[in-house]
Amino acid sequence: MRLIDAHAHLDEPALRSFIPNLPIIDELSVISNSVDLDSSVRNLELAKECRSLIPFVGIHPEIFAKYPNLSIAREKLDEMVSKLARYAESAIGIGEIGLDPKYGQMELQEYLLKEILRLAETLRIPITLHSRETTSKLLDELSSYSLHCKILFHWFAGSESELGKLHGKGYYSSFGPSILFSKRIIELVKHSEPGLILTETDCPTIFRSLNESPSTPLLVSSVAFKLGMILHMPMNDVCELISTNAREYLATQD
């Protein structure tokens, strides 16, 4: 019974004590996403130490909040994408990238996303997208590229209509610990295509309704169990479904 955490941030300092335990947890694989260039390097290094860690490299839109009084010139973004391209040669996928109005500077966010998607056109490796309040915009943006890769909308929280559109295009959606307490997210799961669902934790996010401590990938077992309750499937069948979906998502495209 293999568990898959399709979205975590194992490079975060809060998970430093967890990392040594990951290699000895035989039935758990974790996709560790990056938020900037330094994070990308750390995840690639961690993957050398742990075979069950699957490294993704990327630049999260939160970088624009790190420079609230300074617009990042496009030349600087070009330089970052150039470095990311080198890191991507050693990665399994690209993520976490996307758009988020919370972090401002939307014009530059869109420019960065477009440059990374151009990179993804040539690499043909899976992508993980951050899509808070931007699912429809991202769906429109993706249609402009020849992306021969699998795409995941992580922590999907859009509308049922948006969910139908992204699943209609063969894109994946992942659900995390919010399915343990959110009726709206549970309804989204019910309207999902089972073959396009993945489980995640987004650790080390703290879910105060569950615990005051930073979460770890072990929380994905609770997510999988609740997913089985929603879909009326035994735990073994849920794990087999998610494992199959994850293999398809991660497969290199011809």
Give the DSSP per-residue string, 172-189: EEEE-GGGGT-HHHHHHH
Q: Does domain 3-250 have CATH number 3.10.20.600?
A: no
pLDDT band at 2 (very low <50, low <70, confident <90, very high): confident
17-48 per-position pLDDT tens digit: 999 988 888 899 999 999 999 999 999 999 99
148-185 per-position pLDDT tens digit: 899 999 999 999 999 999 999 999 999 999 999 999 99
Strand-by-strand arrangement of the 28-32 sheet: 3-8, 28-32, 53-57, 93-98, 127-130, 151-153, 172-175, 197-199
Give the DSSP per-residue string, 21-84: GGGG-TTEEEEE--SSHHHHHHHHHHHHH-TTEEEEE---GGGGTS-TTSPPPHHHHHHHHHHH
**pLDDT on residue 110:** 95
pTM, to two decimals: 0.95
d(CA 100, CA 87): 24
